Structure formats: structure tokens, C-alpha cells
Amino acid sequence: MNNDEFLIFQSFLNENFGIHLGDDKKYIIDTKIKKLLQKNNFKTIKEYIKHIKLSKALKIELLNEITVNKTNFFREINHFNFIKNNIKFILNENKRILKNKEIRVWSAACSTGEEPYTLAMVLHEYLPEDINIKILATDISHNVLQKAIKGKYPKIIENEIPIYYLQKYFIKQKDAYTINPFIKNNITFRAFNLKEPFIFKNSFDIIFCRNVMIYFDSEFQETLVNKFYNNLEKNGLLFIGHSESLGQLNHKFKYLKPTIYQK
């Protein structure tokens, strides 16, 4: 991939998915794209992009190839500790939750499911029993969503999850753990591109969008953050990744703690 081809590809990713691909990623992407070109019998980047624009299957294949999906249960645990230790604060700030007996949460880049399942477990553990938990879990990659929906994880997760949670919320198998159906039933998984318009039936009480904005340029970060603001209930909470900050962006959120903001 020469420099001109890389620029074309950078522009395509940014315009269609909001992904900002740094120049330092050229070598890594070059290897992945060559593989896709060969697999689909395309000779040039231009030809490939022309066909991607017309093919949903090619778009899905590309995103599955280039997106990074590193995650684990209870990742950046201070966020889950904040929820655990501030349930009364969350309920007092948003009276709608108690009134409607329902909390609505969006895991905006759920990857293979560890984040929304952790949220479901923590909320189930610390919310009043009569509160219905509704979590929307979205990701741009269809591959990771299939793994998330399956809810089956290798035994190594024993190193990530307290034994209490493992015993209560997982079904142990010979060489794996499967999420208990009563937790899975709290979550709706769906493919979603954050570049798309946000057309949701209801606003959310909590939005998690962690370690995703680092892949976007500042202009799209600002657009995205303000879309989150507009889709949160009054006093709703936004959680972002530890490597991220809203400090340089124009937004209306109130700072609560590092990486935690309130509408």
C-alpha cells in the first residue's frame, strides 16, 4: 500500500465509521488489507473501496479485521465500584428509575460482552430487587457480537472475576464458563455504528463508552460526546476509558470524577 492508497483508506474509514487511523498504523493495516484484497480478488485499494461502499458483507468483514477488541470482566474496576458505592446517589439523582422500576444502560462498544455482563451483575447485586435492568450492548463488529451473545468464556476468567460472582452468575462447564440466562436476559445485543444517527426509543440513565474515542479525531469525539449528552436522562452518567478525557472538547457535561461525567 503506497502513501496515496493509505490516504484514500484513512479518509474512507473516517468518513464512514469515524475511525481515525494514524500514520503509524500503516504497516499493520497494510498487512490486513492485502489479506482482504487477495481473499476477495481485488487488485487495488480504489477498486476494493468502490465495492465496499456497495456491500454490507465487505464492510462487516473489514471492520472485523481491523478493529481491536481487547477487554475483560471488571476492566477499569473503579467504574463498577463507583456504581456499587453510589447506588443511592444514582437513584436520588434520577427519580424516574424508582418511579418506573427500570434502569436503562447503554454499553456503546461492548466487544465480546464482558463489559455489559459485568454491568448487569453489579446492578443486579446492588439495585433494589424490584428494579428492572435493561442494557443495550452495541458494537460495530459482528464477530465480537456473536461471541457476546453466546456468553461463553474460557476458564482463565477465574483470574478476573471474584469467586462469588463466578458461582452466582455463571454456569461452570468442563473447560469454560457460560453466563447464567437470568443475567443474559437483561441485555439486548445489537450491531451499531457510532457514526450513525442515534434514534433510540428512550434515553439512558447510564452510558459506558470506554476506550473507543481514542480511535476518533477530536471533531468526531466532540460530536459523539454531545450525542451521548442528548441521549441521557437528566442527571444521567457517562463513563469513558482511563486513557480518555473530555478536557479538550466543547461539551455540557459536569465532571464528577476522572472519566466519570454527569448530565
Q: 67-106, pLDDT tens digit by residue?
A: 666 689 999 999 999 999 999 999 999 999 999 999 999 9
Q: What is the CATH number of domain 77-262?
A: 3.40.50.150
Supply the pLDDT for residue 68.
62
- Reply yes or no on whether the pLDDT at 262 is more than 70: yes
Give the start-to-end residue ranges of the domains of the chain: 3-66, 77-262
Which tens digit of pLDDT belongs to each residue from 204-226? 999 999 988 887 888 889 999 99
Q: At what angle do helices 77-85 and 114-126 cross, to 10 degrees?
A: 20
* Lookup: cell for 207: 452510558
Q: Is the pLDDT of residue 107 over 90?
A: yes
Average pLDDT over the chain reads: 90
Residue 124 has pLDDT above 90, yes or no: yes
Query: How many whole angstroms separate alpha carbon 252 and alpha carbon 209?
Result: 17
* Chain center to CA of 130: 27
